[in-house]
Structure 1
Amino acid sequence: MTLTTALHRPVPQAHLALVAIVLLGAGLRLPGLFSESLWSDEAISVRLARLPALELIRTTAEDVHPPLYYLLLKLWMQMFGESEAALRSLSWVLGVAALPLAYRVFRRLAPDEHGLAPATTALLAFGDMHAYYSLEVRNYALVAFLGLLATDFLVTARGAVRGAHPTVAYAVVMGAALYTHYFAGFLWLAHVAWMTWERPTGGSRRLSLRRIILLASPLALFAPWSLVVLHQVRLGDMAWMAGQLVPVSPQFMFWTAGRLTYFGEAPAVCWPAVGFFAVAILPALLLGAAAALRPGPRRAAARLCLAAGPGVLLFVFIISLWKRIYLSRFFTLTTPFWFGLIVCGLWTLPRPGLRRAWLALLLVGTLYYSIDARLLPRRPQWRQAAALVLRQGPPEALVVLHAGFTQDLWNYYAPDWRGHVFPTRPLAPGQDWEAVARQIVDAAGGRPVWLILSGTGILDPAWQLEPLLLQRSRDARVYRFGGDLAVVRLGPLSGP
């Protein structure tokens, strides 16, 4: 074929639709790339990525996450710098790259269902959960991308009769996902369940042995880190989660499913959003689960999505009845499969008109909610808070930090004072606030006190402390920023 002929060859409509979906998804993820401040967990990522590689690995061994994302972020920072946009751009690139990858996975899972792949990709592009964590300087976008890529190689290996290339590729990518976030292990279990559920053609023993080797290969690559995992479990100080975990219950599963498929990480979920999920999304999920049990062209896709979406949530829910181990954001890597299950459910409807109308409702509702969420500040503007403290008060002034404003954040936003530990008192739930107020007055010794407060944070004890200190201050000034963030400067304090 000549170049002229190739240039004049018509582009398939599916490819044009994919390009449009990816562009819309990329644009939806752009606003927060430049406008929002880092928060405490992201500042931890920056601190770790600044360490030498070997020290980074040793430090993460004492943390709760594996090191691969931090090593990749370190390389990214060396190439593009440490601005907020540069730091977030790594997750943005991975989040956008996941969209065509999701299209490829679902196109290969259901080759005879031509609309299933673009519909799933569109819901993933517009979904708030995946979009939100495509801007987070954390490991969620990377593990979601690697999870999709591993699934793609798994589908390839499932159809391959011979050859080691798909097995090696799956082992490397799934192993990399495990070195990124431990919840990738639950996706691996979903892969095992799917490969067991989907019996090989002919059921030959040789092919079954190949599947065992295929599925066991990522664990062989992850084995060197397994002792570190045991050490982290024994270390096991998860007190930082105490205020963020709610009692495990069926209602919590409902809310987690809603966050993954519709209302994302919104600080406050309105009842219309809950109603939309219950009326428009939940029935489609149930139809998708039914599609996994019936023969048809979409059964393989529905079974994988059922195992990797609701199946993972149910499995972790059962574990958490014994020991609570998760936050909803840990499930970000499963979002493509939730949307795939929704679309598999819609594709069981006998009337194409009803299917198209239902899908249009989901796309419009999801896109509207995500756009509305992008217009609101989602993270406290710690950048402005740090700048105000630097501008208004001497560096040696006593700073009382909200639980979300850590020394790592201060070091990032006050680089000239990086490494200088200020006298601080991080706030945590369950304290005697009268006693805390007296201690701060005694420690201040006539110096100003800065309170950095966030009403959107999950740990909000500072709001209980503020009035007690205001009573003891002769000169109080309150500065408020977007995202329900306030900085309070209390002048010289006096006793009660």
Structure 2
Amino acid sequence: MTAVFKSSRFQLGFFVTLGAVLRFINLGRDSLWLDEAISYLAAQLPVSQIVNNTVQSSHPPFYYLLLHFWLQIVPDSDTAVKLLSTLFGILLIPAMYLLCQQLFKNRTVALVAAALTAVSPFHILYSHELRMYTLLMLLVVGATAVTHQARQKERSGWWVLAGFLLLLAVYTHLFAFLVLAGIGLHALLTYRQSKRAFWATAVITAIILLCFVPWLNLILAEAEPALGSLRPLQQATAFNPLKPLTAPVFLLFGMSSSFWYSGLILFIFFAYVVIFLMELRKLGRSQIPQGLWLTLLIIICVLGVPLGVYLVRPFFLPERTLATAAPFLIIVLAWGMTRRQSPLPYLTGLALLLMLVGTIGYHSGPLVKPPYRDATAFVAENSQPGDVVLHSSDGSYLPALRYAPQLNQGLLAGDPDPRKPASVYAVLGGQVWSMADLELMANGRFWVIVALEHSIEWQQAQYEIIAASPPLLEQQEIGGIRIFLFEQVK
């Protein structure tokens, strides 16, 4: 019996089961927010419109296509639709085990990587999100494992499979190209040891770039580039000098509003980096495992390139877009368990404990996202025939199109920081209203929903204009979302 508990299969099965339980808990607790609503609404469109990027998403269409077919086979509930991301998140646990086995031939490293992935607050958070990030991480981990296998076996079939997985990854998220860059850089630096691997990687890269040209032409041809797929790159943002530090910490430990927890994870991360670099210096370049070199090169490309551009020219770079680095950061933590006469194993163990604490805090804490589902349900339950609903922000408007499409509702025009062209809202089943449109459409009562996500001063000014003359019948606040019911006087 003891041998069974010590077997790798049993231990991996335990971590997969633990990870599944932690991902199934509270799966449908939070309502969809803006980006998730875009995923849901985009996936409802015909395949031709998804492929043509009618909604002008900054992300390629592979995830939306999968979600399109998923929505056709599951009930229309938040829990059911998010389950797709959860399944990818669960599959990532054994994928991490297999990748570490490929890279290090070390059972301990593989099991620790699986354990860290199973309890990571970041991975659990995005296993609960109707977005492409768990699929993306699964694809890049699988592609990296297959690429390493191809280098070992030197068989064309493995290279074909690696290229196919990498193509799916770049058609899921543009930053998958940075993983490809890391793999290519490793092939270049090891050219003398394996010329065939270098040329195979070069051929795969060329084919992927060629296959990506149709999508590139599509996004470059958009009529309004400032509101289209490339908007995040063009969007100015305030410079945050701590982003190079906070981004990798978030990719490991997720978010936290606790001062003591944030301080601890920052300390652990900084201490690990310092001691890790000292350990590399002790080993010397020739003794560093090739698997660790590959891992570090991918991290350097995935984190270093965007953050380097950000430091020169700040642009909209939320930490979640760097998700492809998250599995490889975990691999570096897991490798620390091999350094017996070093503090690294203790720091890795402490990181595992803090991840578990963060996950428990996530499950037992307050809602992570605004309760748009509850706010929309309140309006739907209390509205009367003829009521119209005006949203000052698409932060509440797009989720409302998912939760209450039967309402006669629109988005207020004139936002100084518009996030989509009016044509995109029309495709998603919505409409944009001016103040004059509201006056014409409202015939008795009208609702105003104010969700102060962005353009806050503008939204507040518009509300004051709207509220200046009609009598206020009712007001309600649900999780910071303000709801007002007015009676129009003619």
TM-score, normalised by the number of residues in structure 2 = 0.83
Distance (Å, rounded) in 1 between the aligned partners of 2:44 and 2:434: 36
Per-residue CA deviations over 1:337-360 (Å, capped at 9, x if unaligned) read 112223334543514xx4443233
Query: Residue 154 in 1 paired to residue 144 in 2?
Result: no
Query: Residue 477 in 1 paired to residue 474 in 2?
Result: yes
1:379 paired residue among 369, 374, 378: 369
Q: Is the 8 A contact 1:183 1:330 kept in 2?
A: yes
Q: CA shift at 1:174, angstroms?
A: 0.2
Q: CA shift at 1:442, angstroms?
A: 6.5
Matched to 1:209, the amino acid is W
Query: Residue 185 in 1 paired to residue 184 in 2?
Result: no
Per-residue CA deviations over 1:399-428 (Å, capped at 9, x if unaligned) read 2314244544333212445xx5x3441684
Against the structure 1 CA distance between its residues 447 and 346, is the aligned structure 2 distance closer, same or farther, given a 3 Å change threshold? farther
Matched to 1:373, the amino acid is Y
2:18 paired residue among 24, 33, 42: 24
Query: Residue 257 in 1 paired to residue 209 in 2?
Result: no
Per-residue CA deviations over 1:367-397 (Å, capped at 9, x if unaligned) read 1112212232112221221121122123543
Q: Is the 8 A contact 1:292 1:299 kept in 2?
A: no
Matches within 5 A, 1:262-341: 262-264=253-255, 266=256, 269-289=257-277, 294-295=284-285, 299-320=289-310, 321-322=312-313, 324-341=315-332
Instruction: Give 2:109's aligned residue.
Output: 116
Q: CA shift at 1:446, angstroms?
A: 7.7
Matched to 2:100, the amino acid is F
Equivalent position SS for 1:180: coil
Distance (Å, rounded) in 1 between the aligned partners of 2:300 and 2:27: 30
Instruction: Give 2:425's aligned residue.
Output: none
- 125-134 or 472-481: bigger deviation: 472-481
Per-residue CA deviations over 1:182-220 (Å, capped at 9, x if unaligned) read 1111111121122233x15x6364454334334444334
Query: Residue 390 in 1 paired to residue 380 in 2?
Result: yes
Q: CA shift at 1:19, angstroms?
A: 1.7
Equivalent position SS for 1:250: coil
Instruction: Give 2:429's aligned residue.
Output: none
Distance (Å, rounded) in 2 between the aligned partners of 1:221 and 1:292: 38
Instruction: Give 1:370's aligned residue.
Output: 359
Distance (Å, rounded) in 1 between the aligned partners of 2:405 and 2:389: 17
Gap regions ≥5 residues in structure 2: 419-432
Matched to 1:89, the amino acid is L
Equivalent position SS for 1:203: coil
- 23-32 or 10-19: bigger deviation: 10-19
Against the structure 1 CA distance between its residues 29 and 493, is the aligned structure 2 distance closer, same or farther, given a 3 Å change threshold? same
Matched to 1:147, the amino acid is V
Matches within 5 A, 1:398-413: 398-413=388-403
Distance (Å, rounded) in 2 between the aligned partners of 1:31 and 1:427: 41
Instruction: Give 1:176's aligned residue.
Output: 168
2:90 paired residue among 88, 96, 103: 96
Against the structure 1 CA distance between its residues 404 and 346, is the aligned structure 2 distance closer, same or farther, given a 3 Å change threshold? farther
Distance (Å, rounded) in 2 between the aligned partners of 1:10 and 1:31: 28
Identity across matched positions, percent: 21
Query: Residue 359 in 1 paired to residue 354 in 2?
Result: no
Q: CA shift at 1:273, angstroms?
A: 3.0
Matched to 2:77, the amino acid is S
Against the structure 1 CA distance between its residues 170 and 204, is the aligned structure 2 distance closer, same or farther, given a 3 Å change threshold? closer
Matches within 5 A, 1:33-182: 33-60=27-54, 62-112=56-106, 114-160=107-153, 162-182=154-174
Equivalent position SS for 1:340: helix
- 315-324 or 202-211: bigger deviation: 202-211
Corresponding pairs, count: 470
Q: CA shift at 1:229, angstroms?
A: 4.1
Gap regions ≥5 residues in structure 1: 1-6
Equivalent position SS for 1:64: coil
Q: CA shift at 1:82, angstroms?
A: 2.7
Q: CA shift at 1:316, angstroms?
A: 0.6
Q: Is the 8 A contact 2:12 2:94 kept in 1?
A: yes
Instruction: Give 1:219's aligned residue.
Output: 209
Against the structure 1 CA distance between its residues 207 and 359, is the aligned structure 2 distance closer, same or farther, given a 3 Å change threshold? closer
RMSD of aligned alpha carbons: 3.5
Equivalent position SS for 1:283: helix
Per-residue CA deviations over 1:222-262 (Å, capped at 9, x if unaligned) read 34433224335982426975999743443122221221122
Query: Residue 486 in 1 paired to residue 481 in 2?
Result: yes
Q: CA shift at 1:36, angstroms?
A: 2.0
Per-residue CA deviations over 1:319-354 (Å, capped at 9, x if unaligned) read 232362532111122211112223334543514xx4
Against the structure 1 CA distance between its residues 314 and 206, is the aligned structure 2 distance closer, same or farther, given a 3 Å change threshold? closer
Q: Is the 8 A contact 1:285 1:345 kept in 2?
A: no
Matched to 1:140, the amino acid is Y
Equivalent position SS for 2:412: coil
Distance (Å, rounded) in 2 between the aligned partners of 1:348 and 1:233: 55
Matched to 1:371, the amino acid is I
Q: Is the 8 A contact 1:99 1:124 kept in 2?
A: yes
